[in-house]
């Protein structure tokens, strides 16, 4: 887990996780969360670049995957800008206050 801290305030959390099974341990999933009042200042870009760089230097990771809400167009733009491609959709994956949203599945091969 990586914390993004600005002026002693946690503004973002990100993580990368890989399965333990040998046949699939080259796949990793990332997740990034940025506090709303810190959107649009580059925090998400920095966190994503750190995760991608870590994946490249680790040596065992070949595929990075993520899920993003279909309504989160800003995040999808960032992911595409940094090399992620859309590979699928999970219908009604997210349930936030009884409002469902699809998950867009994205991945990057490194």
Q: Calculate the alpha carbon distances from 6 to 12, 31, 43, 71 in Å.
A: 9, 19, 10, 27
Q: Calculate the alpha carbon distances from 12 to 39, 41, 71, 93 in Å.
A: 10, 12, 20, 23
* 8 A C-beta contact, residue 5 and residue 11: yes
Q: pTM for this structure?
A: 0.88
* 8 A C-beta contact, residue 94 and residue 103: yes
Q: pLDDT per residue over 75-94, tens digit each?
A: 999 999 999 999 999 999 99
Q: How far is CA 100 from the centre of its chain?
A: 20
Q: pLDDT per residue over 4-40, tens digit each?
A: 999 999 999 999 998 889 899 999 999 999 999 999 9
Per the CATH hierarchy, to which homologous superfamily does domain 2-109 belong? Gcn5-related N-acetyltransferase (GNAT) (3.40.630.30)
* Domain boundary assignment for the chain: 2-109
């Amino acid at each position: 887990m990586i914390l993004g801290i600005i002026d002693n305030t946690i503004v973002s959390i990100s993580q990368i996780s890989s399965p333990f099974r040998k046949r699939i341990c080259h796949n990793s999933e990332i997740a990034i969360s940025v506090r709303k009042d810190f959107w649009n200042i580059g925090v998400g870009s920095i966190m994503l670049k750190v995760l991608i760089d870590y994946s490249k230097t680790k040596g065992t990771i070949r595929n990075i995957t993520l899920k993003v809400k279909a309504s989160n167009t800003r995040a999808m733009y960032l992911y595409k800008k940094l090399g992620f491609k859309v590979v699928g959709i999970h219908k009604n994956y997210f349930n936030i206050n009884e409002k469902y949203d699809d998950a867009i599945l994205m991945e990057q091969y490194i």
